[in-house]
């Protein structure tokens, strides 16, 4: 076995429609080798069917050794300067020959998080404020995720959340 053995190149027929500055980092067949692949690029994860999730659009990643589980983010509300996000349904992909794909996905999702903090909210709840890097975009994209049992639409909760996001933005903005 060669130390410098390279993974086979992604066949042109399976290559997604990449943007001009987008490049393939890793890929793997979904299930038995065939016409379905997952492709990790510097911009995101291409799913079978041609949909790309940006790294900032993935909440969670889990790797069982055979199955890659992706929990995408879903925008529940758009607020001034940030979004309220919830978990979209988990998507599972059986990878019999995963290569570097699971590591690339975990690394890229983790690297997209530039700021995160959790804050308790009265009477019983909390909110996580997250600033994420978006490939090809300057600055951070801001989002919040509320804990279960948090009154997300209560005016006092919205006001506190606005203040928390504002403080996080100030803390991460470089001095002029």
pLDDT digits (tens, 9 = 90+) for 117-155: 999 998 889 999 999 999 888 899 999 999 999 999 999
* Domains defined along the chain, listed by start: 12-172 (2.30.29.30)
CB 11: neighbour CB atoms within 10 A?
A: 10
pLDDT for 4: 56
1: confidence class by pLDDT, cuts 50, 70, 90: very low
User: Would you say 6 and 69 are in contact if contact means Cβ atoms under 8 Å apart?
Assistant: no
Q: pTM score > 0.85 for this model?
A: yes
- In this predicted model, what pLDDT tens digit does every residue of 64-118 receive, in sequence order? 999 999 999 999 999 999 999 999 999 999 999 999 999 999 999 999 999 999 9
- Using H for helix, E for strand and C for coil, what is the string for the chain? CCCCCCCCCCCHHHCCCCCCCCCEEEEEECECCCCCEEEEECCEEECCCCCEEEHHHEEEEEECCCEEEEEEEEEEEEECCEEEEEECCCEEEEECCCCCHHHHHHHHHHHHEEEEEEEEECCCEEEEEEEEECCCCCCEEEEEEECCCCCCCCHHHHHHHHHHHHHHHHHHCCCC
Mean pLDDT value of segment 9-25: 92
């Amino acid at each position: 076995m060669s130390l410098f053995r390279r993974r086979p190149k992604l066949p042109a027929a399976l290559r997604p429609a990449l943007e001009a500055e987008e490049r393939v980092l890793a890929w793997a067949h979904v299930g038995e080798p065939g016409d379905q692949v997952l492709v990790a690029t510097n911009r995101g994860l291409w799913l079978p069917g041609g949909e790309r999730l940006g790294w900032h659009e993935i909440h969670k990643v889990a790797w069982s050794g055979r199955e890659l589980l992706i929990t995408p983010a879903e925008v529940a509300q758009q607020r001034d300067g940030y979004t309220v996000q919830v978990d979209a349904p988990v998507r599972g992909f059986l990878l019999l020959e995963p290569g570097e794909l699971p590591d690339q996905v975990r690394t890229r999702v983790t690297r997209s998080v530039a700021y995160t903090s959790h804050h308790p909210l009265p009477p019983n709840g909390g909110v996580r404020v997250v600033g994420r890097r978006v490939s090809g975009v300057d600055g951070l994209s801001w989002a919040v995720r509320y804990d279960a049992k948090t009154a997300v639409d209560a005016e006092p909760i919205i006001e506190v959340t606005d203040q928390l996001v504002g403080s996080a933005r100030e803390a991460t903005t470089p001095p002029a």
